[in-house]
Amino acid sequence: MTAHRPGSAAPAEPGTGAERTSTSAPVHGTGTDDAAGGTTARPKRSGHGFLRYLVQRLLVTVGLLLGTTVIGFSLVQLAPGDPVAANLSDAALGNPAIVAAFEEKWGLDEPLPVQYVTYLGNLVQGDLGTSQRTGRPVLTELLDYVPATMEIAVPTLLISLVISIGLGLLSAIRNGGAADQTVRVFSLVGLSTPPFWLAILALYLFFFVLGVSPSGGRLSPQFSPPEPVTGLYTVDALLQGDVLLAWDAAQHAMLPILVLTLVTVATLTRFVRSALLEVLRKDYMLAARAKGLSSRVVLTKHLLRAGLLPILTIAGLTFASLLAGTVLVESIFSWPGLGSYAYESATALDRSAILGASLFIAAVYLGVNLVVDLLYGLADPRVRLT
Partner 1 sequence: MTRTHSSLTELTEEQEAATVTPSDDPAAPRRRWWQARTEASRIWRQPVVVVALLVAGAWLVVAIAAPLLAPFDPLQQSSDVYASPGGDHLFGTDALGRDVLSRVIYGARLSIPLALTIVLCALAFGGLLGLVAGYVRGIIGESIMRLTDLFFAFPQIILAMAVAAAFGPSTLNAVVALVIVSWPIYARVIRGAVLSIRSEDYLNASRMLGVGPVAALRRDVMPNSFGPAVVLATLELGNSMLLLAALSFLGLGPRPPAAEWGAMIALGTNDISRWWVSVFPGLAILTVVMACNIIGDALRDRFDPQSVGGR
Partner 2 sequence: MGELLSMSGVGVSLPGLHRPVDVLKDVTLDVDPGEIVGIAGESGSGKSMTGRALLGLLPDGARVRGSIVFEGTDLAAGSGKAFRKVRGRRIAMVFQDSTAALHPMLTVGTQLTEHMRRHLGLGRRDANARAVQLMEQVRIPDPARALRSYPHQFSGGMRQRIAIAIALAAEPALLIADEPTTALDVTVQAGILRLFDRLVREMDLSIMFITHDLGVLAALANRTYVFYAGRVMETGPTEELLLRAQHPYTGALLSARPETADTGGEPVPLRPIPGQPATAASSPPGCPFHPRCPDRVAVCDQVTPPLVQVSATRVGTREAAHAAACHVHAPAAPVPVAVPAHREGAP
Binding site for partner 1 (CB under 8 A): 2-15, 63-64, 67-68, 70-72, 75-76, 78-80, 188-189, 191-194, 196-197, 200-201, 203-204, 207-208, 215, 271, 274, 320-321, 323-325, 327-328, 331-332, 342-343, 345-347, 349-351, 354-355, 357-358, 361-362, 365-366, 369
Would you tell me how many other CB atoms lie within 10 Å of the CB of residue 86? 16
Chain positions 25 to 64 lying near partner 2, rule: CB under 8 A, are 26-39, 41-45
**Contact (CB, 8 A) for 38 and 358:** no
User: Which C-beta is closer to partner 1: that of 257 or that of 332?
Assistant: 332
DSSP 298: I
Least Å distance, CB 203 to partner 2, is 44
- Residue 1: half-sphere exposure toward Cβ, Cα within 13 Å: 30
Q: Which is nearer to partner 1, 163 or 200 (CB)?
A: 200
Least distance to partner 2 from the beta carbon of 168, Å? 19
286 lies in the site for partner 2, by CB under 8 A: yes
Does 305 contact partner 2 by CB under 8 A?
Answer: yes
User: Contacting partner 2 (CB under 8 A), which of 126, 230, 291, 300?
Assistant: 291
- Closest to partner 2 by CB, 120 vs 293, is 293
> How big is the site for partner 2, counted in residues (CB under 8 A)?
43
Contact between 234 and 252 (Cβ < 8 Å) = no
297 binds, among partner 2, partner 1, none (CB under 5 to 8 A by kind): partner 2
**To the nearest whole angstrom, how small is the minimum distance from the Cβ of residue 18 to partner 2?**
18
| CB of 377 vs partner 2, minimal distance in Å | 13
Query: Distance between CA atoms of 125 and 119, rounded to whole angstroms?
Result: 10
**CB proximity list for 108: less than 8 A, separation 6 or greater:** 83, 84, 102, 115
Cβ atoms of 75 and 83 closer than 8 Å: no
Within 13 Å and on the Cβ side, how many CA atoms surround 20? 19
Sign, CA torsion 205/209/213/215? positive
> Does 382 contact partner 2 by CB under 8 A?
yes
* Shortest distance, position 179 Cβ to partner 1, whole Å: 17
Binding-site partner at residue 35 among partner 1, partner 2, none, CB < 5 to 8 Å by type = partner 2
Say which entry of partner 2, partner 1, none residue 292 contacts (CB below 5 to 8 A, set by partner kind). partner 2
Fill in the amino acid letter for 383. Answer: V
302-338 burial, b for 16+ CB within 10 Å, e for fewer?
bbeebbbbbbebbbbbbbbbbbbbbbbbbbbbebbbb
d(CA 268, CA 142) in angstroms, rounded, equals 28
Q: Angle 318-261-343 (CA atoms, 0-180°, nearest 5)?
A: 70
In angstroms, the CA 221 to CA 362 distance is 34
Tell me which of partner 1, partner 2, none is bound by residue 385, counting a contact when its beta carbon lies within the kind-specific cut-off of 5 to 8 angstroms: partner 2
Least distance between partner 2 and beta carbon 187 (Å): 22
Alpha helices (H) in 213-350, listed in sequence order: 233-240, 243-280, 283-290, 295-297, 304-330, 338-347
Name the 3-class secondary structure at 137. Answer: strand
Question: Whose Cβ is closer to partner 2: residue 33's or residue 82's?
Answer: 33
Contacts to partner 2 by CB under 8 A: 24, 26-39, 41-45, 282-284, 286-294, 297, 301-302, 305-306, 309, 379-382, 385
